[in-house]
């Protein structure tokens, strides 16, 4: 009887275990998914997160909640995401700011590690950064602008609305040997308004903020900082194309999960994100807010961070940029 009982027990355990694992694999997501965004509602990052979140909600059958945690150069949001359970129910919209720039500029230790605290899922898009000038600047190309800046060292002021745009300015200065004064503003709107009003003569800004002023002729766009042209301004050359060979600084957006998130969940989310970003209606909506759609593998997103971090460290060191 003991042998029969033990045999039946073994079969029963095998059946339970055999059925339990597939169910565990199929259970994701088993509760609402939270996407943490380190910026206030209404901005491009927030809109991007909501577009992806709405589509995930429809496909995965669970509510997707956008959790905005602005402040401290996205450190608050990154820390909250890094501390989330690694089960795919906490996600984070990351950019070069928290993932590559913060480690380069903060003297104090960050409460998260960009490479060790997160599992990359997919790139979401690129924010083209534009070099624009006030019409009073006698330059219709990047090369003419560089020549004018060299002929007038220290006389040009450049406004930026974020630390990422500041680094785009510093890279141009360091690669061209120009002396341009950096004037920080609180946000792209304030920075671009100052340039359009002639308070400053140059701005590094996002395409969405600059578009109405470029269209009206109050600002002139000279180049794009990314490695490829933006679909928002397809006729505008990259700064590298325009003669500053090797210049490239891209403001990418990516989706991350806490470190240790199972590979099958990461693969499932990656496949869903790629599908969402390939949808024509999503691409159209993102283009309208100045985002060039760009999906990737988790490995490609991880490589972006590895490539960007030393670049920003070098720029920060050369420019003396430090934050406490």
Read off the pLDDT of each residue in 292-313 and give the average, rounded to a whole number: 95
Q: Is 227 strand, coil or helix? A: coil
What local confidence, expressed as pLDDT, does residue 26 receive? 55
- 33-125+251-319 under CATH 3.10.450.50, yes or no: no
258-269 pLDDT, tens digit each: 999 999 999 999
Read off the pLDDT of each residue in 284-312 and give the average, rounded to a whole number: 93
Q: Which residues contact 91 (CB under 8 A, 6 or more apart)?
A: 33, 34, 35, 36, 81, 121, 255, 256, 257, 269
Read off the pLDDT of each residue in 226-237 and give the average, rounded to a whole number: 92
pLDDT of 10 above 50: no
Cβ proximity of 172 and 133 under 8 Å: no
State what percent of residues in the chain have pLDDT above 90: 79
- 129-224 under CATH 3.40.1480.10, yes or no: no
What local confidence, expressed as pLDDT, does residue 2 receive? 45
The reported pTM is: 0.85
42-72 pLDDT, tens digit each: 888 999 999 999 999 999 999 999 999 998 9
pLDDT band at 283 (very low <50, low <70, confident <90, very high): very high
* Residue linked to tokens 């807010």: 289
pLDDT of 20 above 80: no
pLDDT band at 323 (very low <50, low <70, confident <90, very high): confident
What local confidence, expressed as pLDDT, does residue 56 receive? 97
pLDDT band at 5 (very low <50, low <70, confident <90, very high): very low
pLDDT of 40 above 70: yes
Mean of per-residue pLDDT scores for the chain? 90
Q: Is 320 strand, coil or helix? A: coil
Rounded CA gap, 134 and 120, in Å?
Answer: 40
Positions of CATH 3.40.190.10 in the chain? 129-224
140-166 pLDDT, tens digit each: 999 999 999 999 999 999 999 888 899
The whole-angstrom distance between residue 263's C-alpha and the CA centroid of its chain comes to: 23
pLDDT band at 128 (very low <50, low <70, confident <90, very high): confident
pLDDT band at 288 (very low <50, low <70, confident <90, very high): confident
The whole-angstrom distance between residue 133's C-alpha and the CA centroid of its chain comes to: 25
Sheet with 180-184, edge to edge strand ranges: 180-184, 156-160, 202-206, 129-133, 220-224
Positions of CATH 3.40.190.150 in the chain? 33-125+251-319
Rounded CA gap, 33 and 147, in Å?
Answer: 52
């Amino acid at each position: 009887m003991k042998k029969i009982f033990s045999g039946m027990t073994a079969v029963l355990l095998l059946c339970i275990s055999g059925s339990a694992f597939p169910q565990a694999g199929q259970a994701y997501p088993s509760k609402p998914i939270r996407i943490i965004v380190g910026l206030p509602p209404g901005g491009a990052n927030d809109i991007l997160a909501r577009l992806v979140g709405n589509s995930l909600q429809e496909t995965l059958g669970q509510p997707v909640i956008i959790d905005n945690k602005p402040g401290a150069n996205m450190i608050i949001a990154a820390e909250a995401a890094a501390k989330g359970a690694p089960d795919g129910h906490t996600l984070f919209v990351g950019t070069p700011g928290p993932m590559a720039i913060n480690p380069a500029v903060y003297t104090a230790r960050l409460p998260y590690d960009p490479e060790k605290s997160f599992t990359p899922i997919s790139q979401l898009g690129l924010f083209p950064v534009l070099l624009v000038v006030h019409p009073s600047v006698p330059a219709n190309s990047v090369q003419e602008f560089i020549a004018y800046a060299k002929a007038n060292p220290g006389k040009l002021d450049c406004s930026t609305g974020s630390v990422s745009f500041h680094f785009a300015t510093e890279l141009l200065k360091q690669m061209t040997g120009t002396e341009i004064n950096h004037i920080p503003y609180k946000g792209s709107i304030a920075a671009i308004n100052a340039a359009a009003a002639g308070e400053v003569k140059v701005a590094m800004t996002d395409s969405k903020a600059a578009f109405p002023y470029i269209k009206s002729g109050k600002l002139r766009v000279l180049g794009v900082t990314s490695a490829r042209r933006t679909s928002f301004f397809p006729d505008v050359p990259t700064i590298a194309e325009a003669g500053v060979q090797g210049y490239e600084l891209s403001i990418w957006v990516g989706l991350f999960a806490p470190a240790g998130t199972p590979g099958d969940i990461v693969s499932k989310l990656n496949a869903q994100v790629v599908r969402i970003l390939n949808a024509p209606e999503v691409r159209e909506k993102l283009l309208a807010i100045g985002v060039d759609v760009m999906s990737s593998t988790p490995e490609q997103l991880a490589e972006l961070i590895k490539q960007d971090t030393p670049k920003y460290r070098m720029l920060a060191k050369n420019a003396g940029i430090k934050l406490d």
